Structures are given as C-alpha cells and as structure tokens.
Structure 1
Amino acid sequence: MQLLKEAELARIAKAVPVQMIEDARLFLQITEMETLGFEYVIFHNDSEKKCICLFQPGPLLEGLPGIIHGSALGTVIDTTFFMMAYYSARAVFTGTMTITFKSPGILSSVVRLEAKVTGTEGRKVILSCEAQSSDRTIIFAEASAIFFRMR
C-alpha cells in the first residue's frame, strides 16, 4: 500500500530537504526481518474524519519483560497523528505531543490507535489519539498533539 504519493513527498521535501525521495521512510525500520519490530497499517477515513492504526509490536520493542516500551508506542502514536494531520489538513510538523500512559501493552498483541482532528487555529491542527487493546477493553495511552501546516 502506498500511503503518500511522490508529489506529496516532494511537497514535504521542499520544507524538509530529503536527499533521496525514493529512499525516504515515514517510519523507522530497525530490522529487515518481519515481526521483530514495528508492524503496523494505518487507514484514513475521510468521511469519519479519523485514522485507525493497527500496530503489532515485536520483541525488539520490549521495555519491561513482555511489555511494549513506551517510546515505541509513542512513535506509532506520532506516526498516526502525522497521517491524520497530513490527510485532513496538510499539516506535517509535530509542534507538541503529550502522552498519558494508562496501562502497559503486551508485546505481540494488536494495539488499535484512533486519531482525530479536534480543532484548528491558523496553521495549527489540534489532534487527539487513543491507543487501546484490539477488543477496545483496555486503554494503553491517551495523547494529544499540535501539528503545523507548512507556509
């Protein structure tokens, strides 16, 4: 699945120079082997004004034994925010992000993230996100962010 078209990457690259657009990644890849690190997919639903991310963290993202490291979950939250901000308002820069962790997430389980735009102010796009278990019974984290549109 191609999430950003080449023209969209070129537009971003004007504000943030990228030496080789073809090699640019929107997400860190720490290993060539699947299922060890970040495994995720993001769906943008324009009619419902939200992004849903399904994330299955591998063993390289372990914090405490068997638990997802908070920074790994934070990275996926930021990536989900980016997709929501970009596709809804063409905002591409994280200004601030606040995460409140509620419960530990289990490695190799599926985490469901849902991000929404909650408001706009000039160049600012204000977002919220909730990370929860796939059955939506456990909240792992709640987050808010402000992204900025390019000038």
Structure 2
Amino acid sequence: MSTHYGRAQHLETPPGFVHDELTKAEVKEREAALVPLTDSVRRLIDALVRTQVAEQGMEDVRHRVDALTEELLADALPGPHGVRFGSDGGYRNYGNPVVGKGNAIAPPIAFQRDGEAVSAEFELGPAYEGPPGLVHGGASAMVLDQMLGEAASAGGKPGMTGTLTVVYRQGTPLGPLRGEARIESVEGVKSVVRGRLLTRPADGSEPVVCVEAEGIFILPRWARQDPAGVDREHVGEA
C-alpha cells in the first residue's frame, strides 16, 4: 500500500519515519556511493534472469555473491529502512521498490510533475516479465500505485492507497514505457486519481494504452491535525 505523506517533522511522527541529522552534503556523499552500487546489483539481477553459463560457473558466482552480501550485512539495519528525514529538508526512502535509490528491484522511475499531473518515461526489462515478452501484471499495478500516489501529492492531496482498481487493456511489452496520472476529484480527505501505462514506440508510431488504473488516496489520521504541514512531496511506502 503506497503512502504519500509530506513534511512529517511538522506533525506527529508516524511509525517508520526516522529523524536523523545528516546534512545535504552527507546525503549527497552517501548517495554518490549507494546509487552506483544499486545500479550494479540491478544489472546483476538482469544478468541472473538471462544467464546461460554452465552450472559450475553459477556455483562460483554464488560463492562470490555470498561473500559480498556478508560484507554489506556487517553493518546493516535490523529491519526495514523506513523513511528518513532531517535538517537537509529531504526524505530518503531507499527501500521503495519503484523509486528507491537503494533498492535494486526498483526500475528505477523518476517522475516529472506538470502542475497536478505526473508522468514518467522508463523501461521494464526481463526481471519484470510475466507472460513471455510482457510485463507481469503485478509489476504494472505496483508502478501505477506509485504513480497515482505521486499525482495525489502533486495535487496537494497526499495520502495512503485506499483502493486501487486496475484494468488491463492489452499486454504490456517489456522495454520502453510511459506512465501518466492526475487527480480526477477530491472529497474531504479522499482524492480519486487516474493513470495509465502506454507503449513508447521507437519507430514514432502512436503509443498504445496497455493498463489503466484508478485509486482512492486517503490522508492519514496523523496528518489531519495539520493538513497545511503536509507538502506535496512523496515520501515512502507503508
């Protein structure tokens, strides 16, 4: 279930939000090391899905991967990363499976805002395959859940996913895709958001709508005490 809150430090801090004192410079330094490592592991996942090396070769790689994993676990959190925020004014949700900078299963996707609408151009490769050559329906739903939540935040109505209705118009091909979403209506603490995934043809032909979704996003109770303190920035997953 997606959560799209705002500036939690102005409100009662909900579970999973952790305040730290990292400066912008420290965050930048951390991400300069984290993002390339995440990219490398993402390539490893893709390679694992597609590899045809002999069994002995896979066994050798497994031992090396296990050794590297132990290096990273030598200093690791005991549980989920959660959402971290601090004096730098930003939010760090590195574990998010769609946009997390520290999560190698995230495509990743960078959303662009245009007023109260959001869009993104991205690729889903072999690691997201369901039917042969097509994106797994659950992966499409996950991306749209995130995108609709981003649109709710862009429209000043951040919240948690209450319902998500997904309609699969046709198979979504692996490769370049485009996503679009915007708020359709607002009623109190609820906002209705609609979005879709489209093909992104390389030959310049017309894009085709593959998946459509409608979600109801609800402002959480802890944020209702000070709605003005909740800004439009997406901050995480619940």
Query: How many percent of aligned residue pairs carry the same amino acid?
Result: 21
Name the count of aligned residue pairs: 140
Q: Which amino acid aligns with 1:130?
A: R
TM-score (ref. length: structure 1): 0.78
Aligned partner of 1:39 among 93, 96, 108: 108
Inter-partner Cα distance in structure 2 for 1:132 and 1:143: 12
Partner of 1:106: 173
User: How much has 1:12 moved relative to structure 2?
Assistant: 8.4
Aligned partner of 1:130 among 196, 202, 212: 196
Deviating 4+ runs (over 3 angstroms): 9-13, 29-32
Aligned partner of 1:93 among 139, 160, 168: 160
Query: Which SS does the other structure have where 1:128 is aligned?
Result: strand
* 2:213 counterpart of 1:147: no
Gap regions ≥5 residues in structure 1: none
Aligned-residue CA RMSD in angstroms? 2.7
Query: Which SS does the other structure have where 2:170 is aligned?
Result: coil
Q: Which amino acid aligns with 2:173?
A: I
Q: Which amino acid aligns with 1:15?
A: P
More strand by share: 1
TM-score (ref. length: structure 2): 0.52
Inter-partner Cα distance in structure 1 for 2:190 and 2:211: 23
2:96/2:103 contact within 8 Å kept: no
User: How much has 1:17 moved relative to structure 2?
Assistant: 2.8
1:130/1:139 contact within 8 Å kept: yes
User: How much has 1:13 moved relative to structure 2?
Assistant: 8.1
Partner of 2:127: 60
Gap regions ≥5 residues in structure 2: 19-81, 86-91, 225-238
Q: Which amino acid aligns with 1:114?
A: E
More helix by share: 2
